[in-house]
Amino acid sequence: MDISSLYDKAECVDTKEYTLSIRLMSDGFSFSIHNKLADNSFLYFDKKDNMSPIPEKIFEDYMIGEDILCDEYKEVHLIVANDRFTLVPSELYDEDEKEKYYDFNLEKRDEVVVSKFMPHNGCYIIFGIDKEKYSFLKRSFADIIIYHHLEILTEYFVSKSRLGNSDKMYCQVRYGMLDIICFKKGKAAFINSFRYRHLNDVVYFIMNVWNTLKMDQYRDSLQLSSDGEITAALIDKLKEYIEQVTPVVFPSEAFNLGKQCVNSPFDIIPVY
């Protein structure tokens, strides 16, 4: 949505009743505002851009320069959408050791390491946030609530995966990143993100995980979240190998919040 159109729709909004969600990616960001109690209140703006070589400066200038991002909100959420994360079962997790877990699995960078417990899946997700952006956002929004995008997706879909007797795969395809979450017998069996350049890469990654987990091409199911054209193209390709491939079923409350929910990344709509 054009930013001027966003302002036109939001100019009469009392943002103190709204939630601001900032989705931070490695090469851009997007944001939404919504009021769970108001129909058609969800507004989404995408600032996907090449933010190098000084991403923190471009990010800060943009955030400060847009009045809608400087208003007072009921809540502010930061959704970190990156592939720099690791998972630790709750039985093995030690808060004092979270940076060691992280450093063991990922290349060292100048990051703040954050951990979140995923109660419906019995594990912790440990992830990194660019230190400069983290510092700026904490200064700007003292009570900001931080999520990893896979935390939101996994916690939401685990209950859906327990419907019926089949195993489930859920995929989100956005901005050159493919998220794959699989559940076997209602428990998470695979959680990961992959970068891709072509839709054939997406099909390759999905089928590789599908076959590795020995999922059944007739009984088990795959649900996709993406924009309409990509979803349709992927369904056509994947149906050559998997019988039950459908778009993700959006919750009814998302439809009530407005049409933009359906075309936004699933993790930024208020399902958490």
State pLDDT tens for residues 32-90: 999 988 888 999 988 765 544 446 777 888 888 888 888 999 999 999 999 999 999 99
What pLDDT, on a 0 to 100 scale, did the predictor assign at position 6?
52
Q: How many angstroms separate the CA atoms of 59 and 133, rounded?
A: 8
Quote the mean pLDDT of the chain. Answer: 89
Residue ranges of domains in the chain, CATH in brackets: 158-249 (3.30.420.260)
What pLDDT, on a 0 to 100 scale, did the predictor assign at position 8?
55
pLDDT along the chain (272 residues), means of 10: 51 82 88 90 78 64 85 95 96 96 92 96 96 93 96 96 94 94 96 95 98 97 90 94 93 82 89 71
Q: Which residue's entry shows tokens 């559940």?
A: 183
What pLDDT, on a 0 to 100 scale, did the predictor assign at position 54?
47
What pLDDT, on a 0 to 100 scale, did the predictor assign at position 11?
55
* Nearest one of 83, 75, 81, 79 to 22, comparing CA atoms: 79
Q: pLDDT tens for residues 22-32? A: 999 877 889 99
What pLDDT, on a 0 to 100 scale, did the predictor assign at position 10?
55
- Report the share of the chain in percent with pLDDT over 70: 92
What pLDDT, on a 0 to 100 scale, did the predictor assign at position 188?
96
- Report the share of the chain in percent with pLDDT over 90: 67
What pLDDT, on a 0 to 100 scale, did the predictor assign at position 2?
47
What pLDDT, on a 0 to 100 scale, did the predictor assign at position 1?
44
